[in-house]
Amino acid sequence: MAPLGGTPRLVLLFSGKRKSGKDFVTETLQSRLGADDCAILRLSGPLKEQYAQEHALSFQRLLDASTYKEAYRKDMIRWGEDKRRADPGFFCRKVVEGVSQPVWLVSDTRRMSDIQWFQEAYRAVVQTVRVVASEQSRQQRGWVFTPGVDDAESECGLDDFGDFDWVIENHGDEQRLEQQLENLLEFIRSRL
């Protein structure tokens, strides 16, 4: 049985390391498809909202790329892992509530349990997309290795998945990126 929300025609599960460009890619795709046809779902949204409520923090400040969010990142990861151990689909169910667009771009898939939940809930319409970028490209975007974050499951949980339907290389070659995005857009439009 599908969770609350509409029945999508296509669900794309995006994963990748911090500063690989997952948000950039999903936002570019949505801008070209239109918000009426395409929704960006962030699993971290309900996680941050629940964490903020339980810890009397600012949800809005946890959403942006700020030092405020970074101050709580390690504890948020630990807290989120505890929630997932108790209920692997907790954040997945929350993020799809009320979504009616036919295309869903899940911008921050991080674990096998996320992929499994969406595949079980939506079966044949799920595609996995890995966004990759070299360490040098990520560093140019502000990434610095952080122990307890970059070596945690939230960053490494899909490193060995290896069976992605799509791989988007985002190393800084704009022409190559554009070609890959056009190929993916063509596929998405064929499902609308």
41: in domain: yes
83 is in an annotated binding site: no
Which residue segment(s) compose the domain that 94 sits in?
A: 10-48+89-191
- Judge whether 185 and 127 are in contact, CB under 8 Å: no
76: in domain: no
Q: Mind listing the pLDDT tens digit for each residue in 57-79?
A: 999 888 876 788 889 988 998 89
Report yes or no on whether pTM surpasses 0.85: yes
73: in domain: no
125: Cα separation from own chain's centroid: 17
- Using DSSP, state whether 15 is helix, strand or coil: strand
50 is in an annotated binding site: no
Can you give the CATH number for the domain in which 19 is found? 3.40.50.300
Classify the C-alpha dihedral 21-50-61-67 as positive or negative. Answer: negative
22 is in an annotated binding site: yes
CA dihedral angle for residue 149, residue 177, residue 34, residue 191, rounded to 10 degrees: -100
134: in domain: yes
63: in domain: no
55: in domain: no
Supply the pLDDT for residue 44. 85
151 is in an annotated binding site: no
> What residues form DSSP beta bridges with 12?
105, 127
Quote the Cα angle for 166-169-170, to 5°: 130
Q: Mind listing the pLDDT tens digit for each residue in 84-138?
A: 889 989 899 989 999 999 999 999 999 999 999 999 999 889 999 999 999 999 9
Supply the pLDDT for residue 1. 42
24: in domain: yes
User: Which H helix or E strand runs over 61?
Assistant: helix 59-63
53 is in an annotated binding site: no
78: in domain: no
Q: Mind listing the pLDDT tens digit for each residue in 3-40?
A: 556 789 999 999 999 999 999 999 999 999 999 999 99
69 is in an annotated binding site: no
> What is the number of structural domains in the chain?
1
